[in-house]
Amino acid sequence: MQPSSAFHEQTWSERASFLPPGPRSRFMLSLLWHPEPARVGQQALLEPPGGSWRLSRGELLFDAGEGTPAQPLGHASVSRSALQLEPLPDGSLRLSCAEAQRLRCEIDGQALDPARAASGLILSPARLAAGVVMALGPLVWLCLHLSSGPRARRQAGAGGLVGISAAMELVRRQLEQVAPSDLPVLLLGESGTGKEMLARALHAGSPRRQGPLISVNMAALSEGLAVADLFGALRGAYTGATGARQGLFAEAAGGSLFLDEIGDAPTAVQPMLLRVLETGEYRPLGGSSTLRADVRLIAATDRDLQARAGFNQPLLRRLEGFVMAIPPLRQRREDLGVLLLHLMQRAAAERAAGPELRAEALPPALLRSLFLHDWPGNVRQLWQAVRRLQLAQLAGEWPGESELLGLVAAPSALEALSATPAPAAGRRRHYIAPDEISPERLLRALDDSGWCLLDAAQALGVSRPSLYNLLARHPEVRPAHSLSAEDISQALARSEGTPDLSRLAISLRTPREALRRRLRALGLKPPG
């Protein structure tokens, strides 16, 4: 199906926009984090005409979903002193508080200055469009943002498309609209936004769901064999073709074919893809007769194909039967809370053994890092951060910001690190591959350090995230949360004299600081 001429008149950036033209932008408050995880994702729409709003423990109601009364933040960690939100004629918003000394509040990671709060802090439209992260007390986090599209009816939909933003609600509505059709779909979005997941959702929602979904990375196809890979080849069609081979179009018959990284499709196959889309026919390499393609094509790219030199523009027109754009995380910061909870649940489901990463366990410093980061790797990068958090909880030590976010130091910084003398050895630190560390060597380093993970990591020459991975795989390491009062009493009884915490950690085969917290949780006094 050829897209309409009106659609072709749009620029590429307009096609990739995440919200259609709609009503004026409205101010919205979305709950990023709350001590009651079920409340994460609730929203308060700020739109009474000509009004202002008061935000405090008991003021401003957040929508709790259909059939449930809206409710205020309500938690004791939030002050009863109200933060006043006042819209200004230029689209900005003034934040003020008459009792600022009693209000514990952060705006984008900076504590609200009582002097500025009394007179008012102005948030520009550009800053609001990017999403302003607010903390009220240590445990409640919100995103103050603009919303001009359809309000989210749900947090997740078909295919696990998680989010409360208007942009994600639009993606879910488009999915419901186009999935039942046979139109080719072009997915636009940065790396890590979930284009392959959306392709799976399109297939699952289509009449072809009982057929196969075949995925191919077009960047991985070689110029010489791309035609045979996609369309098949007869025996002798090329050097080394000792038998006929079936192409990906034949494998996907009755189902869907997902062409990822379509912008990197080899030049030779682009006219053939155009012919398939125009006529539904193709010819295997070396063949003399045509075959019918019974597939639904889904393509994806993170590039501007309209400006990409060498890309077949008529092919692009055909691929644009329906265009769906997935927004990057930095443009939908209000989704971070519900995404974080969703990925924590996924991590718990994938890990049959070990502790569940609990929402209430995350300290404010980690939440601040998670909510203020721009996530250039999008949902994929957030998922890796959640997995690091899970390993860190197992080890009993939360990671620093660089470890959490997977930040890599610049070469000059790495050189400076390697040139810094180690505290004990007085010489340069050399990092080695974790796979080179045997289970026996790991236990020896842990015992030598009294199960202090930082000292053990330095002695082994690995980073702490690598050490967490080694601990998770070692059969003799015991997570501190799994230790009972009886286990600890027996270890104390086996000791000679009064053990210190390091000796007790060695006996129990568990990280020292995690053991200290476990003892306190059980009401036991840690040994000296």
Q: What is the pLDDT of residue 174?
A: 94
Domain-embedded: residue 459: no
Q: Do 103 and 209 sit in the same domain of this protein?
A: no
Check which CATH number belongs to the domain holding 257 and give it: 3.40.50.300
Domain-embedded: residue 17: no
Q: Do 311 and 214 sit in the same domain of this protein?
A: yes
Q: Do 177 and 106 sit in the same domain of this protein?
A: no
Q: What is the pLDDT of residue 30?
A: 95
Domain-embedded: residue 456: no
Q: Which residues partner with 257 through β-bridges?
A: 214, 297
Q: Do 514 and 389 sit in the same domain of this protein?
A: no
Cβ atoms of 258 and 214 within 8 Å: the answer is: yes
Tokens 């003021």, located at residue = 59
Q: Do 184 and 213 sit in the same domain of this protein?
A: yes
Q: Do 215 and 315 sit in the same domain of this protein?
A: yes
Q: What is the pLDDT of residue 437?
A: 85
Domain-embedded: residue 14: no
Q: Is the pLDDT of residue 15 over 70?
A: no
The encoded tokens of residue 89 equal 């004629």
Q: How far apart are CA 260 and CA 467, in angstroms?
A: 35
Q: What is the mean pLDDT of residues 154-179?
A: 87
| Confidence at 464, pLDDT banded by 50, 70, 90 | confident
Angle at 148 between CA 144 and CA 150, to 5 degrees: 105
Residue range 352-365, pLDDT digits in tens: 655 567 777 788 88
DSSP string, 382-449: HHHHHHHHHHHHHHT----HHHHHT----HHHHHHHHHSPPTTT-S------GGG--HHHHHHHHHHT
Domain-embedded: residue 176: yes
Check which CATH number belongs to the domain holding 128 and give it: 2.60.200.20
Q: What is the mean pLDDT of residues 89-111?
A: 85
The whole domain housing 392 covers: 332-339+355-407
Total tally of structural domains belonging to the chain? 4
Q: What is the pLDDT of residue 499?
A: 62
Cβ atoms of 406 and 388 within 8 Å: the answer is: yes
Domain-embedded: residue 262: yes
Q: Do 178 and 317 sit in the same domain of this protein?
A: yes
Q: Do 278 and 209 sit in the same domain of this protein?
A: yes
Which range is least confidently modeled, 120-129, 252-261, 403-412? 403-412
Q: How far apart are CA 513 and CA 502, in angstroms?
A: 9
Cβ atoms of 453 and 397 within 8 Å: the answer is: yes
Domain-embedded: residue 362: yes
The encoded tokens of residue 436 equal 């080179």
Q: Which of 323, 318, 299 is nearest to 1 (CA)?
A: 318
Higher-pLDDT residue of 239, 122: 122
Q: Do 170 and 125 sit in the same domain of this protein?
A: no
Mean pLDDT, the chain, rounded, equals: 82
Q: What is the mean pLDDT of residues 443-459?
A: 83
What percent of the chain lies above the pLDDT cut of 90? 40
Q: Is the pLDDT of residue 12 over 90?
A: no
Q: Do 136 and 165 sit in the same domain of this protein?
A: no
Q: Is the pLDDT of residue 23 over 70?
A: no
Paired sense of beta strands 256-260 and 296-301, if any:
parallel
Q: Coil, helix or strand for 374?
A: coil
Kindly report the three-state secondary structure assignment for every residue of 65-92. Answer: CCCCCCECCCCCCCCCCCEEEEECCCCC
Q: Do 105 and 166 sit in the same domain of this protein?
A: no
Q: What is the pLDDT of residue 239?
A: 58
Q: Do 123 and 256 sit in the same domain of this protein?
A: no
Domain-embedded: residue 164: yes
